Chain A
Amino acid sequence: AQSVTQPDIHITVSEGASLELRCNYSYGATPYLFWYVQSPGQGLQLLLKYFSGDTLVQGIKGFEAEFKRSQSSFNLRKPSVHWSDAAEYFCAVVGILTGGGNKLTFGTGTQLKVEL
């Protein structure tokens, strides 16, 4: 069964500093990977996705992520963090289920705090 690990529960960075959020996945086949962001009391917004091809993917709000098959990782990065980036970030992998269905398996999330 697929799984996603986000080792950092909380991360604090200063505004303007660079950011890297870690994500490790476990999946038997080629993974389809996502990063979502959730602001307090809000829904899930898709930041970026990796399906195949170029292992460095660009997303919205200046975020990017790099897929590294050898490390089973899909880390999210941003060169300069803005105060509005404070939120919870979720990494997810799609799993194909018996019968043709699929589901997203999420990590436990990383809470990002931005210090001004």
Chain B
Amino acid sequence: DSGVTQTPKHLITATGQRVTLRCSPRSGDLSVYWYQQSLDQGLQFLIQYYNGEERAKGNILERFSAQQFPDLHSELNLSSLELGDSALYFCASNVQGSNEQFFGPGTRLTVL
């Protein structure tokens, strides 16, 4: 158990809908990262937040957005969902200055 929690574990929704994925980092970690794992694209970095501020952006679609709250939990919002958004979404966290990231169990999103 990495100490990073993600909810929900599974999510099934329809095209065009909007969903929110939640991540709670390890105690003391200020950085949160989001990754997408799909059959087409593999494991891809989406976005990083540090202490409430966006720090780095990867291949994140404009339909997707994220934020990190004062209690350091983070949410990834996916809107206007398409079939191709079906994937496993991972959250990771670490402390400032560390290069090792600790991964949550992931949220499996299925878009029908």
B is a partner of A: yes
**Which residues of A does B touch, CB under 8 Å?**
32, 34, 36, 41-44, 46, 49, 51, 90, 92, 94, 97, 99-109
Whether A44 touches B103, Cβ cut-off 8 Å, given contacts A100-B55, A101-B50, is yes
From B33, B43, B99, A106 is in contact (CB under 8 Å) with: B43
A46 to B102, CA, bound (A): 8
Chain B residues 71 to 112 lying within 8 A of chain A, measured CB to CB, are 90, 92, 99-106, 108
A116 to B6, CA, bound (A): 35
Whether A97 touches B56, Cβ cut-off 8 Å, given contacts A90-B43, A106-B42, A109-B42, is yes
Task: Tell me the minimal C-beta distance from A2 to chain B in angstroms.
Answer: 11
Task: Tell me the minimal C-beta distance from A104 to chain B in angstroms.
Answer: 6
Residues 24-46 of chain B, each 1 if its beta carbon lies under 8 Å from chain A, else 0 = 00000000010100000011110
Shortest 6 CB-CB contacts between residues of A and residues of B:
A101-B56, A101-B55, A106-B43, A103-B45, A43-B105, A32-B99
Beta-carbon contact of A94 and B99 below 8 Å:
yes
From B48, B56, B104, A43 is in contact (CB under 8 Å) with: B104
Beta-carbon contact of A103 and B56 below 8 Å:
yes
Q: Which residues of A contact B50 (CB under 8 A)?
A: 100-101
Task: Tell me the minimal C-beta distance from B105 to chain A in angstroms.
Answer: 4
Beta-carbon contact of A99 and B55 below 8 Å:
yes
A97 to B99, CA, bound (A): 12
